Amino acid sequence: MTSPKPPANPMMSAADLRKHALEHQLREIERSQGHKAAEAAKHAEFVDTFFDKKIGDDERALMKRLVMRAALDGKLEALIFSFPSDLCTDSGRAINNGSPAWEDTLQGKAKEVLELFQQVAKPKGYGLKGVIINFPAGMPGDVGLFLTWDPPIL
């Protein structure tokens, strides 16, 4: 009588399985921390340019393309600029509440977009609205500045 052959892939011990699972969790934590560090660096770079740099010709050209694309798609508004709400002086509260003074909370490039709008687009009948466009964890996330060309309400 021959003894039964052991399985080709013997079951690993519970201790080895726990070790394997822990190693996997550690790799996932390291990967997540790497993503968080990259996101933090990206956010810091955005904040630096938000406050220190001016809107350039490339950004103006992009805004024009966004407006033209929206118009060709039959829309009456275009998202021309977005930024984290925590870069407003009130973290986006006035925008979220629809306050008439929401424009006073803008800083940096967002304020420059407002000034550009007031100089160039408003005299030609355009509107500008600020909207909180996402709510991560239930809190105001990003602000979107939308150029509008709705017909006037009579």
Q: What is the mean pLDDT of residues 87-102?
A: 95
pTM: 0.70
Same domain, 142 and 73: yes
How far is the CA of 55 from the CAs of 16, 62, 135, in angstroms?
A: 57, 11, 26
What domain count does the chain have?
Answer: 2
pLDDT at 116: 92
Q: What is the pLDDT of residue 67?
A: 93
> Do 35 and 105 belong together in one domain?
no
> According to the model, what pLDDT value does residue 73 have?
94
Helix (H) or strand (E) holding 28: helix 14-52
Determine contact, residues 126/147, Cβ cutoff 8 Å.
yes
| Residue type at position 116 | L
Domain range for residue 49?
Answer: 13-53
Residues 67 and 132 in one domain: yes
Contacts of 47 (CB under 8 A, 6+ apart): 87
117/49 Cα distance (integer angstroms): 20
The verdict on residue 120 lying in a domain is yes
Q: Using one digit for the tens of pLDDT, what is the confidence trace for 23-63?
A: 888 888 888 777 777 666 665 665 667 677 788 899 999 99
